[in-house]
Structure 1
Amino acid sequence: MIFTQLILAHIIGDFILQPGKWVVRKEEKKTASKELYWHVFIHTALSFILLWNLELWWMAVIIGISHFIIDALKLHLQTNKTKKAAFFLDQGAHLLVILMISFSIGEIDFNFLHDPEFLKTLTVMVFLTFPASVIIKILLSSWIPETQEINKVQTESLVNAGKYIGILERLLVFTFIVTEHWEGVGFMIAAKSVFRFSDLAEARQRKLTEYVLVGTLLSFGIAVIAGIIVKL
């Protein structure tokens, strides 16, 4: 319960009670900005309030001190190029502190890491990311359309967007299957058909359409088979 309370305090403090102008001021003045100290105070106060137990005062203090240190390091070390990575590292560090506090009082343990079901599911989910992308790419390697055909459809495509869309769709399909919501798989296929194949129809490139269709069916098929294997 303490883990959930501290996570809730963090979400409220970092994403709800932190105005955008505070973020800008912190990035401009760094540790000299009063907004940073107000931000840390809000996190500490929220932790006190949500824990609602005077005996756990030290947790709120640790949250406040660690939050200041982590945010100060982020402000001084991040650049415009590393801002995205700095955000996720910052959030990961805050989560790690909360995990360590919860672990120190025995509320959270890591016995689940030895659970065969957890390990099996984790292994399959990891496989459905980049390994599955590589397998699909190899299977389709002999059918890669000509560059000019791809350019007609992907003139404004994001870099590597297709790869990450494939990873996300496989993970979603896998999740739908293991939670026994097969209707979600149908929704995914319908949604992708509407958004993807309308562009291909406009391009009037049959080879490219068939190439994308085969790739999509392979992606969904691998995710479905993986989900069935885990269920069995």
Structure 2
Amino acid sequence: MSIIFLKLLLAHLLGDFVFQPNRLVQMRKEKIGFLLLHVAIHGLLLSLLFCTTLSTQWHIVLFVTFAHLLIDSVKIYLEKKWPLQPFVLFIFDQILHVASIIAALVLVYGWSEAWTQALFSSTSLCYLIAFLLTAFVSPIALRVFFSKWTSQTEFLSKPQDSLTDAGLLIGIMERLLIVLFVQIGFLSGIGFLLGAKSIFRFGDLTKARDTKFTEYILIGTFASFIVGILIGYALKFGLKYLTISVN
């Protein structure tokens, strides 16, 4: 079954990224013929990859092809409704495509009890909780932590020459890297990360010449790193002592 999953995933990657130029992406939004062409390319790729077993696995090819048509049609509709959310729609689209591949396998082979055990194992839950803490809980916690200085940070209300939510995303990514570094034992990587951030922030701090702004940046950096390190070691502890070994 794993080889079938890999073939389906390969066909998806080839059809959605290799054999779909940006021009086709734009044109399929306007004319359904180009959408059908895109889906036909997917069907052809699937047929080629399953050419030796097509007589017995044609229903998998058919299911995934029509699922692709349905998912892309929904995406095009949502793109017209929410044109300012391309990244969110892209992720949503790719998740649905992978889900359709898994659904095809489940329909043909059924759901394995081993999959349930793997999904809800202590290891999986530890990783999921660590990700949620890093990407969703910690930004809110840090925002609450900084709320005590809201009235004192006049510079936050001034127009900033920066990307929307860039600081939020940078913080999430740096904490994810810290958690990863803790897991693989690359603690010096945390130092390199802190050094790199300090270098990039040095120009802002020099130009600002504002003590409050400098303190705000330093506190934010250290708080973010401390949170990342705590989550990293909490995950390491959980994987070591809370996971259940299955013999």
> TM-score, length-normalised on structure 1?
0.86
Taking the aligned partners of 2:49 and 2:194, their CA distance within structure 1 comes to 42
Shift in CA distance, 230/87, structure 1 to aligned 2, threshold 3 Å = closer
State whether structure 2 residue 126 is matched by structure 1 residue 120. Answer: yes
Decide whether the 8 Å contact of 1:145 with 1:207 is kept in 2: no
Q: 105-114 vs 129-138, which deviates more? A: 105-114
Residue correspondence of structure 1 range 26-105 to structure 2 within 5 A: 26-29=28-31, 31=32, 33=33, 35-54=34-53, 55-79=56-80, 81-82=82-83, 84=86, 85-104=88-107, 105=109
State whether structure 2 residue 160 is matched by structure 1 residue 159. Answer: no
CA RMSD of the aligned region, Å? Answer: 2.4
Taking the aligned partners of 1:91 and 1:50, their CA distance within structure 2 comes to 20
Q: 1:230 — aligned with what?
A: 235
Decide whether the 8 Å contact of 1:129 with 1:167 is kept in 2: yes
Taking the aligned partners of 2:150 and 2:20, their CA distance within structure 1 comes to 48
SS at match of 1:129: helix
SS at match of 2:29: helix
Shift in CA distance, 134/110, structure 1 to aligned 2, threshold 3 Å = same
Shift in CA distance, 201/103, structure 1 to aligned 2, threshold 3 Å = farther
List alignment gaps of at least 5 residues for structure 2. 238-247
Decide whether the 8 Å contact of 1:6 with 1:51 is kept in 2: no
Taking the aligned partners of 1:222 and 1:67, their CA distance within structure 2 comes to 40
Q: 131-140 vs 13-22, which deviates more? A: 131-140
Q: 1:210 — aligned with what?
A: 215
Taking the aligned partners of 2:134 and 2:209, their CA distance within structure 1 comes to 31
Decide whether the 8 Å contact of 2:29 with 2:35 is kept in 1: no
One of 174, 181, 188 as aligned partner of 1:176: 181
Q: 2:190 — aligned with what?
A: 185
Decide whether the 8 Å contact of 1:149 with 1:205 is kept in 2: no
Q: 2:148 — aligned with what?
A: 142
Taking the aligned partners of 2:49 and 2:221, their CA distance within structure 1 comes to 46
SS at match of 2:30: helix
Decide whether the 8 Å contact of 1:174 with 1:227 is kept in 2: yes
Taking the aligned partners of 2:48 and 2:184, their CA distance within structure 1 comes to 36
List alignment gaps of at least 5 residues for structure 1. none
1:6-28 C-alpha deviation (Å, 9 max, x unpaired): 12211111011011111121111
SS at match of 2:66: helix
| Displacement of 1:151 | 5.8
Taking the aligned partners of 2:209 and 2:140, their CA distance within structure 1 comes to 28
Paired letter, 1:43: H
| Displacement of 1:119 | 0.8
